[in-house]
Amino acid sequence: MATLIVHGGAGRWDPRIPRAEIDAGLDRALETGWRALEDGALSAVVAAVTALEDDPHFNAGIGAVRNADGEVELDAGVMTAEGLRTGAVAGMTDSASPVSVARAVLEDGRHVLLAAAGASRFAAEWGLPLAGRERLRESARALPGSAGGTVGAVCRDDRGGLAVAVSTGGVSGKFPGRVGDSAICGAGFYADAPGAACATGQGEAFIRLAGCRRAVELLAAGLDAPTCATRLIEELAERVGGEGGIIVVDATGRPGVARNTRDMPWAWRTEVGTARWSPA
């Protein structure tokens, strides 16, 4: 069964942003990703996350928050279960779609994680568009907390392929150079034969727990996707005092979502229907 889940970030959303606008952004991402499914799970998750990077309601791409120096530093990662193929970038200041650069790192295959100027040089050599530091700074969110923490997607395609993609502007006011879980394989994203997982929330907590790798281990131990998601968020709180959320899809295509934050917009689509989040 084909399944695609997207999320718009765990945390506390600005109540001035209408729920309908958040849902419209999720719907666009789901539709964009679903259309790309014919090219497999990786194409689906990258397409979905790219759509969220292009939406100023979300803390990624053009809607990202600024760091303590007023700059934008973006992280992203992608992974497929097949071959454990992985690509990630950190601290990009001049790409409105770092998830596309992360995919190129995966496709290139020489490295897993490129950072800052090296990631920008790599993107230029691959012919990927760079937005420019000033454009990203100007489009960055002026209101800390008005966007979620991260955007992401997980997918199982109808051939059994599994993939995950994630993108973020990080924490508003973060120390320059801070890298969160979204660029770290096993922490903010992971995919293997039992399933795929994508995290959002306090990045340092997911790094300490290796949260998404842990979620896939729970699937391997026999938990279904909904139970796995709930258990992971319980462990996040109990072991490292963390707050956040996670989306999970297992090898059969069953979706799972859990959070311990007030808000976490999400939506999923399968061959038999759709579902979406309910605010706390």
**Which residues are tagged catalytic?**
150
Token pair, residue 249, equals 């899809």
For 135, phi and psi rounded to 5 degrees?
Answer: -60, -45
Q: Is the dihedral of CA 133, 134, 138, 142 positive or negative?
A: positive
Token pair, residue 59, equals 């803390």
Token pair, residue 227, equals 């139970």
CA 82 from chain centre, in angstroms, equals 19
Q: Helix or strand or coil: residue 208?
A: helix
Residue 247 to residue 259: CA distance in whole angstroms: 9
Residue 55 to residue 61: CA distance in whole angstroms: 8
- Residue 276 and residue 267 in contact, taking contact as beta carbons nearer than 8 Å: yes
Residue 66 to residue 249: CA distance in whole angstroms: 31
Residue 275 host element (H or E): strand 273-276
- Residue 21 and residue 136 in contact, taking contact as beta carbons nearer than 8 Å: no
